[in-house]
């Protein structure tokens, strides 16, 4: 059986944000066993799974991404939407647009130190939409 629905996340400031709890609060009853895919419907933000205990991981990841895809590069052509737009597209390519997580005993089966992150790469990205697909 497949279930699918959409979750709307509130607007977040630019940065890496732990959203596991927001996602879980919006999930219907999960099956005993299965898989969940969470897909972000945007090209200037990403999703990833990483350590959820130490906030310096988010800080360091954001700084590395900013260094890897800096703003105001003279070779960027896609600049009509602002200096942060093309770097946001590059960063979303690096982080990815979806995560897949096993479901066991009706819960997301992630490691003790894992969490789902919204990677907001725009200065004013706005609310973001996620498509959640549950396979059981």
Could you report the per-residue pLDDT of 21-37, keeping only the tens digit for each? 999 999 988 999 999 99
Which residues span the domain enclosing 128?
A: 2-135
The answer, yes or no, to whether residue 90 has pLDDT greater than 90, is yes
Q: How many domains does the chain have?
A: 1
Mean local confidence (pLDDT), 104-130 = 97
The answer, yes or no, to whether residue 83 has pLDDT greater than 90, is yes
CATH number of the domain bearing residue 89? 2.60.120.460
Share of the chain above pLDDT 90, in %: 98
Mean local confidence (pLDDT), 66-81 = 96
Q: Are 18 and 52 in contact (CB under 8 A)?
A: yes
Instruction: Give me Rg for the CA atoms of the chain.
Output: 16
Mean local confidence (pLDDT), 48-66 = 96
As given in the structure block, the two tokens for residue 49 are 């799974």
Mean local confidence (pLDDT), 107-115 = 96
């Amino acid at each position: 059986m497949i279930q699918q629905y959409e979750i709307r996340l509130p607007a977040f400031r630019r940065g890496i944000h732990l959203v596991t709890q927001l996602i879980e609060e919006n999930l219907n009853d999960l099956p005993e066993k299965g898989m969940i895919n969470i897909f972000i419907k945007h090209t200037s933000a990403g999703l990833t799974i990483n350590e959820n205990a130490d906030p310096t991981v988010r800080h360091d990841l954001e700084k590395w991404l900013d260094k890897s895809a800096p703003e105001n590069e003279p070779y960027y052509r896609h600049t009509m939407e602002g200096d942060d737009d093309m770097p946001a597209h590059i960063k979303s390519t690096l982080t990815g647009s979806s995560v897949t997580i096993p479901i066991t005993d009706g819960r997301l089966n992630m490691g003790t130190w894992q969490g789902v992150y919204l990677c907001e790469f725009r200065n004013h990205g706005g609310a973001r939409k996620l498509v959640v697909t549950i396979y059981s």
